[in-house]
Amino acid sequence: MNSTSESPSQVLPADRRVEWIVGVSGGIPAHRPVWKRVTDAPYDADPTGARDSSAAFNRALADMPEHHTLFVPPGTYRLDSGIRWKGRGNHKTLRGAGPGLSKLLFYWGLIEMGPGVPRERTGLDLNARRNGLTIDADLSQDAVKGETHIHLASLPAWVKPGHLYILDQLDDPDLVQSGGSGGSSHPREQTGNGPRGLGQIVLVTSIQQNGPSDFQVNFEIPLYYSFKTAQQAQIAMAGYDAESEAPLSGCGIEDLFMEAKYATGWSKGVSGHFIRMDSCMNCWVKNVEGDNVPSNCHVWASFCYRIEVRDSYFHDSHGYGGGEAYGVALYNVTSASLVENNALKQLHCPLLVCYGASGNVFGYNYVFEGASESVASSLALSTHATHAYMNLWEGNHAVKMLADWYHGSNSHGVLYRNRLLGYEPRDPNDHTPVGLECYCRKWSAIGNVLGVSGFHTIYEKANGEPGSPLDRVIYKLGYRNNFACSQPPYDDLATVDLLRHGNWDAATRSVKWDPAIPDHNLPPSLYLKARPSWFGDLPWPAFGPDVPGLEGKLPAQARLWGDAPPPAFAPPAPVENPPDR
């Protein structure tokens, strides 16, 4: 488990931080015994890749007892219909001999994880199983940020310990706006519950009755935000039927290589993910290489809680249009999850949060060589769609962070000790390390290293002043569209309300501090209590104004390049008329 220290630093005010308790509770299990090899009888998976092994994987996972491992020996395995990890039990591990040895080749399908029964198709189903999203109950009292309980006047039969639920409320339009410049809305709004973009997934741990009309529902992790009865705060099912099903719990995928031999995508009505997690908790992906995703996401998580994606390498896609070539995408209120120590290459949106994802941490990931069919849309770290908030981005090496308005608002994101270049030769537009479009408010940027010396010349564009996608600017703030700066509306600087403290930037070649914050001592981390063992001999923290030379090397970077530097690239050539996204 990862969390903040007991004495949080004063460099980040209390109203802009939470206790980031993230990832698999107690850590990923390390010693689950091997039950069988998937090549053993009666499963007989074919390690030569000559015939379809989908049925072998599915039957073996179903038969395996809990708290065991199904081992995938070295070899190449053909999968014509994928792996349906639904209704096959909890606390199971699928483990290979390593990404270079145990290889899964998908000719159709994906690894689909979640509650319920196995499905015989791969459907579009953007928002998981919506049948539970309309089942809800009003809170009887305001729930205050930092508390670990809510109150109900009566107790529905479907509210039970051990289950996941959504907490949300009707949107405050001063902060939360659905739709954005490109349309779309949150899943609970789509199912007729009103605009409820800001929410949190909670795990109920116990229930106590304090009086005839007062039921106290307790949960594991403190609230990230206050939920008010004046805004019809509610508890709701989290994408599954809590009366008849339970979330998939304690299952993991490890030490495998995955490659798609087919191309698909939203335009074909089929979700082209590699690993899809719906309503999962304490599940993980570890040391997996994903090569050439069918089109959409290497890892897609929806209504999930405390999942962990780590030590992996995701690269390339069959498609690079809108909604395609994503790396790790946390959707639909996914909360308390950890994406750590991964490498991501040749992707459109390598790391992103969407539709209410909250309280998650993206830590120490190495993102490089982004790509997109639209040259104006090659992203790295992305907050996209109503209303992701209180997510921490710490220690990442990437081209840029873009918090956009395309599908709605977001807020309270934290950028801490990242190396954001604002430079990618494959993306000749928007050379901006930190971009916050309109309705992307109350962010904090602390201890980051921003821009490239000799390339970036402008510190900031804001307040609706004329701008160009060709500007070599460190911060671009409040525009409707960072790639088309002439389009209204705009947020002025006061409305954006970006806290900036202790960041080094290449335009001024200096460290700028917020005069209202006297504390200039930046803690090594906002979520790790101590130096992580997986950093090895590399200096930690890797980036910051107090780091010698401003930047070091990440473990994920060292895995790819060793002691050699990454390949050098020529400066990008400008495109005068980039397309709107």
* Cis amide bond preceding 156, omega within 30: no
- Residue 514 burial (C-beta neighbours within 10 Å; 0-12, 13-18, 19+): middle
Lowest-confidence region among 4-13, 63-72, 175-184, 511-520: 4-13
| Mean of the per-residue pLDDT values of the chain | 90
For domain 1-31+248-569, the CATH architecture is 3 Solenoid (2.160)
Residue-wise pLDDT tens digits, 476-507: 999 988 877 777 888 999 999 999 999 999 99
What's the whole-number mean pLDDT along residues 272-276? 93
Predicted confidence band of residue 265 (pLDDT cuts 50, 70, 90): low
Here the tokens at position 347 are 């992707």
Local structure of 415: helix, strand or coil: strand
Q: What per-residue confidence (pLDDT) applies to 581?
A: 40
Predicted confidence band of residue 568 (pLDDT cuts 50, 70, 90): low
- Residue percentage of the chain with pLDDT more than 70: 90
Q: Which residues contact 471 (CB under 8 A, 6 or more apart)?
A: 431, 432, 458, 461
Q: Which residue has the tokens 């994880």?
A: 113
Rg (CA), the chain: 23
**Dist CA 371 CA 427 (whole Å):** 7
**Dist CA 238 CA 166 (whole Å):** 5
**Dist CA 340 CA 23 (whole Å):** 9
Q: What per-residue confidence (pLDDT) applies to 321?
A: 80
Residue-wise pLDDT tens digits, 424-435: 877 777 889 999
**Dist CA 557 CA 364 (whole Å):** 10
**Dist CA 97 CA 83 (whole Å):** 18
Q: What per-residue confidence (pLDDT) applies to 129?
A: 53
Q: What are phi and psi of 42, to 5 degrees?
A: -90, 15
Looking at the predicted structure, is the pLDDT value of residue 377 above 70? no
**Dist CA 342 CA 324 (whole Å):** 19
Question: What is the full DSSP assignment across 24-41?
Answer: STT-----PPEEEETTST
Domain ranges of the chain: 1-31+248-569, 34-108, 130-237
Looking at the predicted structure, is the pLDDT value of residue 143 above 50? yes
Looking at the predicted structure, is the pLDDT value of residue 578 above 50? no
Strands (DSSP E) contained in 355-450 are 361-363, 366-368, 381-383, 392-394, 397-398, 401-403, 410-411, 414-416, 419-420, 434-436, 440-441, 444-446, 449-450
- Residue 67 burial (C-beta neighbours within 10 Å; 0-12, 13-18, 19+): middle
Looking at the predicted structure, is the pLDDT value of residue 571 above 80? no
Half-sphere exposure (CA, 13 Å, Cβ side) for 452?
17
Helix H or strand E segment including 275: strand 275-278
Listed residue (353, 317, 348, 356) closest to 338, CA to CA: 353
Looking at the predicted structure, is the pLDDT value of residue 1 above 50? no
Of residues 565 and 84, more confidently modeled? 84
Here the tokens at position 530 are 């101590």
The CA-atom distances, in angstroms, between 473 and each of 379, 462, 514 are 16, 11, 20
**Dist CA 173 CA 23 (whole Å):** 31
Looking at the predicted structure, is the pLDDT value of residue 187 above 80? yes
Tell me the pairing of strands 503-505 and 510-512: antiparallel
Residue-wise pLDDT tens digits, 291-329: 999 989 999 999 999 999 999 999 999 988 888 899 999
Which residue type occupies 483?
F
Predicted confidence band of residue 6 (pLDDT cuts 50, 70, 90): very low
